[in-house]
Amino acid sequence: MSMWGGRFAAPTADIFKRFNDSLPFDYVLAPFEVEASKAWAKALQGAGIVSAEECEALIGGLEQLADELAQTPDLPVRDRAEDIHSWIEAKLQDTLGAVGKKLHTGRSRNDLVATDLKLWLKARLGHIQESLLGCIQGLLKFAQLHQQAVIPGYTHLQRAQPVLVAHWALAYVEMLERDHMRLQACLKHMNQSPLGCGALAGTGLNIDREALAQQLGFDSASENSLDAVSDRDFVVEALALASLSMVHLSRLCEDVVFYCSGEAGFFKLGDAISSGSSLMPQKKNPDVFELVRGKTGRVAGHLQAMLMTLKGLPLAYNKDLQEDKECLFDAMTQWHDALSIITYSLGHIEVDQQAGRDAAELGYSNATDLADYLVRLGVPFRDAHEQSGQLVLQAIDKGCALGQLELAEMQRINPDIQDDVYAVLELEAGLQARGALGGTSRAQVDAALKRAMLQFNAQ
């Protein structure tokens, strides 16, 4: 039976019902709706609407339902109800009879759905927080395991300066750490309870909304009923957070796809996380990383969809808001799964130290070190840049590295250059030179890794 048949003379059309019903996707809110309803039953008792026995019966019925749902989470979709709210109410009426009809007193699906969705999201973000920390720990382990390895660092995808593989991994730790801070902020921002705001104007019952909010684990009750029932900022914030975090993972994936390409060959993927080609027998493809990159577009699309849904909505509740669920549910699933698969895959990447080092030696990645050497001789940096560039040009003409130029050739550009220049041009010297805080010197990276391991409890 529907929740609103009284003023209708004719049945709803099947085609409308199929279009309108949200049960096929909002059934996942069931355990949270049960929690909210238990708290509401107590509030109703406090307001003198139900007796102590009736309250007990309602709570008993809800707990029984929670047990059934724990066994069979998709139980609701076996029935045809409009949404999870009507399904639960119908179930209660089946088991409790008349008292089941009292539960919806003074509340609306509008304050209820906003409450359920917040409770769902708080729980889901809790799981995602664990996966996020797991991914950070995975990156830290990867950095530790490959602490010796060097790869070329790029700007414009042109070899720029050598960096440690651990420095590369720690860059993504920074990004995920910011995601973690944003996740915590999001949890805090959304922590007001809409329950007891009624359909839009507030409830007519004498409800202690603060006590109700505390009982459900919120910091406080929301202040304005019109806002509370139509606020989906928390959905947008979670989607924005998921989108940005996916963008971070996507950039990592792009790096990995390139690093394991035939052209770079710094990383090799384990069989467990690679796939082959149906036609080309030699292929081993980085599908995991491409898929995460691809799913990032999907998650960012959900953020756009939600913003577009909200734009131009009048206060307060409008049915458009039902569109908040599928995009939020899917985005959180994709984000969670992406974090898990990346964490797993990091353990299946082999680093080819030789290939990384060889590539880092190429491309005149030590030209800045030569300029810095000239600066130490007293040459103003702009001139040092010019002279180092001229030497790069000479080396390109000769088809050799900077360190393979004769001293006499170098002295033709700057007579002050001495033998000690060759040590400066070594790869290790280039790394060691970047020794200020945040740089890729072995000492800095080692310290950064230790700090992060301590902070994230990784070993």
Residue window 171-210: x/- pattern of binding to ligand ARG, with contact defined by CB under 6 A: ----------------------------------------
Residue from 26, 179, 231, 352 in contact with ligand ARG (CB under 6 A): 26
Task: Give CA–CA dist 242/248, Å, rounded.
Answer: 10
Is 336 labeled as catalytic in the residue annotation? Answer: no
Using the structure block, give the residue that is written with the tokens 């070594």. Answer: 426
The DSSP symbol for 162 reads E
Number of chain residues interacting with ligand ARG (CB under 6 A): 10
Contact stretch for ligand ARG (CB under 6 A) within 31-39, 130-138, 319-327, 408-416: 319-327
Contacts of residue 39, defined as CB under 8 A and 6 or more positions apart, other chains included, come to 195, 212, 215, 216
At closest approach, how far in Å is the CB of 110 from ligand ARG?
A: 5
Instruction: Identify the residue among 144, 322, 368, 394 touching ligand ARG (CB under 6 A).
Output: 322
In the Cβ-directed half-sphere of 300, how many Cα atoms lie within 13 Å?
13
CA angle 123, 68, 335 (to 5 degrees): 25
Q: Rule CB under 6 A: is residue 113 a binding residue for ligand ARG?
A: yes
Name the active-site residue from 277, 348, 365, 385: 277
CB atoms within 10 A of CB 412: 14
* Stretch in the footprint of ligand ARG (CB under 6 A) among 109-117, 122-130, 177-185, 376-384: 109-117
Interaction between residue 137 and ligand ARG (CB under 6 A): no
Q: Cα–Cα–Cα angle for 317, 327, 332, nearest 5°?
A: 120
- 109 binds ligand ARG per the rule CB under 6 A: yes
Q: Pick the stretch among 64-72, 128-136, 144-152, 313-321 that binds ligand ARG (CB under 6 A).
A: 313-321
Cβ-count burial 391-400 (b if 16+ within 10 Å, e if not)? bbebbeeeee
35 binds ligand ARG (CB under 6 A): no
Q: Measured from the CB of residue 82, what is the shortest distance to ligand ARG in angstroms? A: 7
110 near ligand ARG (CB under 6 A): yes
Interacting residue with ligand ARG among 22, 215, 225, 245 (CB under 6 A): 22
User: Is the Cβ of residue 54 or residue 82 nearer to ligand ARG in the bound state?
Assistant: 82
Here's the x/- map for ligand ARG, 68-107, by CB under 6 A: it reads as: ---------------x------------------------
CB of 321 to ligand ARG, least distance (A): 5
CB atoms within 10 A of CB 311: 7
Helix axes 233-259, 287-310, angle to 10 degrees: 160
How large is the C-alpha radius of gyration of the chain?
A: 30
Q: Is the dihedral of CA 294, 300, 302, 305 positive or negative?
A: negative
Q: Which of 255, 70, 248 is nearest to 154 (CA)?
A: 255
Contacts from 390-393 at CB under 8 Å and sequence distance 24+?
A: 391/367, 392/364, 392/367
What is the C-alpha separation between 41 and 61, in angstroms, rounded?
Answer: 11
By CB under 6 A, is residue 317 in contact with ligand ARG? yes
Residues 6+ apart with CB under 8 A from 218: 118, 191, 192, 193
Nearest to ligand ARG of 145, 307 (CB atom): 307
Task: Name which of 156 and 319 has its Cβ closer to ligand ARG.
Answer: 319
In the three-class reduction of DSSP (H, G, I as helix; E, B as strand; rest coil), residue 24 is classed as: helix
Distance in Å, CB of 26 to ligand ARG, minimum: 6
Among 58, 149, 183, 321, binds ligand ARG (CB under 6 A): 321
Under the binding rule (CB under 6 A), the answer on residue 111 touching ligand ARG is no
Place of tokens 């493809």: 285
Distance CA(303)–CA(241), nearest Å, equals 9
By CB under 6 A, residue 329 contacts ligand ARG: no
Q: How far is the CB of 60 from ligand ARG (least distance, A)?
A: 26
385 is catalytic: no
Query: Which of these segments, 108-116, 176-184, 340-348, 442-450, binds ligand ARG (CB under 6 A)?
Result: 108-116
Residue keyed to tokens 């940096």? 381
230 binds ligand ARG (CB under 6 A): no
The three-point CA angle 297-298-299 to 5° equals 95
214 binding ligand ARG? (CB under 6 A): no
Which are the catalytic amino acids?
156, 277
> Which residues sit at the interface with ligand ARG, rule CB under 6 A?
22, 26, 83, 109-110, 113, 317, 319, 321-322
